[in-house]
Chains A and B, each alone.
Chain A
Amino acid sequence: MTSGTISIDQERCKGCGLCPIVCPQHVIKIAEDQLNTKGYHPAQLIDPEHACTGCAICSLICPDVCITVFREPHRARMAAVPELSKEVI
């Protein structure tokens, strides 16, 4: 069961390689076989086992602020505050 995920803006990413280093789950890789329009190899989420926890550490180190982080809301918290479950995308 996945508990989090990220979306990387491929066009804004400059492939600096900092997010793969800090990711505790090692689910971010630099796509060596792809180029964006600026000519950089962008970072990608490779997470077939749904290991991403949505910890947002990648977004803290990203110099180009191209990572959006999503997380499954905590069930207990959702039960306590039902409105939280409505604030989804």
Chain B
Amino acid sequence: MVTLIEDVPATMQVVYQRPESLSCVSTHYCPGCTHGIAHRLLAEALDELGLRDRTILVAPVGCSVFAYNYFEVDGCEAAHGRAPAMATGLKRVQPDRIVVTYQGDGDLVSIGAAEILHAAARGENITTIFVNNAVYGMTGGQMAPTTLLGQKTTSSPFGRNVSSSGYPIRMSELLSQLDGTAYIVRRSLHDVAHIRKAKKAIVTALKAQMHGLGFSMVELLSSCPTNWGIPADQALNWIAENMLPYYPVGDYKVHPEVTTL
């Protein structure tokens, strides 16, 4: 039995519907991929703050390469890892715009590590949504800088090994040491309570940019059922059991003025 919107009793009110900032197209993400949740949270935050008309989204290279198709905001596509550099230029030329980069871990921590570090160190007034799923998704599940020790990927079939691959990088902790940053937090998308907290963090990060406080980033622990090789529901449990101990959620840098927003 399908409930059509026309069949809903007339006395009922809509309590949740698709945010306006999200396009009506279907995404190309795999079933159960939490990229969709991250997209929705960002769109809801833009709607809540009324920023849809003046936001520029810088899309990365990776699974979210088509992110500009999924939001009803202006967008552009950066070279691999260079979204913070492009965002820097956009924000400096048009300081009244809200500039958001949406990047994955392969894009931000690996090839784009220099760009994100220096954008944060310069205190560029941009917001970064960092989706960390501990694997390269689009290219076929290779090891990323954020891949956990012992985690099997297509390029580390026996598990990530410290002697050959070193240690996973905790990007939020790293960036929080830079003075130019205003708001650096890590949240998770593995259950509803954490999703609610992630939404609040994205709203705060955008507010920090609106008030010109400097660089803000929200890291979102995300799932990749396809490349982890497990069903979507187990992938959420995998985040809780394996990623949270190494990547604890929390506020790593909160500028004193951010707390007053």
Contact = CB atoms under 8 A, between A and B. Distances in A.
B224 to A, nearest CB: 12
B12 A72 contact: yes
A18 B233 contact: yes
B2 interface: yes
A70 B15 contact: yes
B67 to A, nearest CB: 14
A47 B15 CA distance: 18
Interface stretch (B32-40, B53-61, B210-218): B32-40
Nearest to B233: A21
Interface stretch (B22-30, B74-82, B144-152, B246-254): B22-30
Q: By CB atoms of chain A within 10 A, which of B13, B27, B232 has the most?
A: B13
Contact of A89 (B12, B37, B233): B12
A57 interface: yes
Nearest to B236: A18
Given A60-B196, A64-B27, A68-B17, A88 B2 contact: no
B43 to A, nearest CB: 8
B261 interface: no
Contacts of B3: 5-8, 45
A12 B31 CA distance: 11
Contacts of B196: 60
Given A22-B191, A69-B14, A73-B13, 18 more contacts: A5-B8, A14-B31, A16-B232, A18-B232, A18-B236, A46-B1, A62-B37, A63-B31, A63-B33, A63-B34, A67-B16, A70-B14, A71-B12, A71-B15, A72-B11, A72-B12, A88-B12, A88-B13
24 contacts: A2-B9, A11-B26, A14-B32, A16-B32, A16-B225, A17-B233, A38-B26, A46-B1, A60-B192, A60-B195, A60-B196, A63-B31, A63-B35, A64-B27, A64-B29, A65-B19, A68-B14, A68-B16, A69-B17, A70-B8, A70-B15, A71-B12, A89-B5, A89-B14
Q: Identify the 5 closest CB pairs spanning chains A and B, nearest first.
A: A63-B36, A16-B32, A14-B31, A16-B31, A69-B16
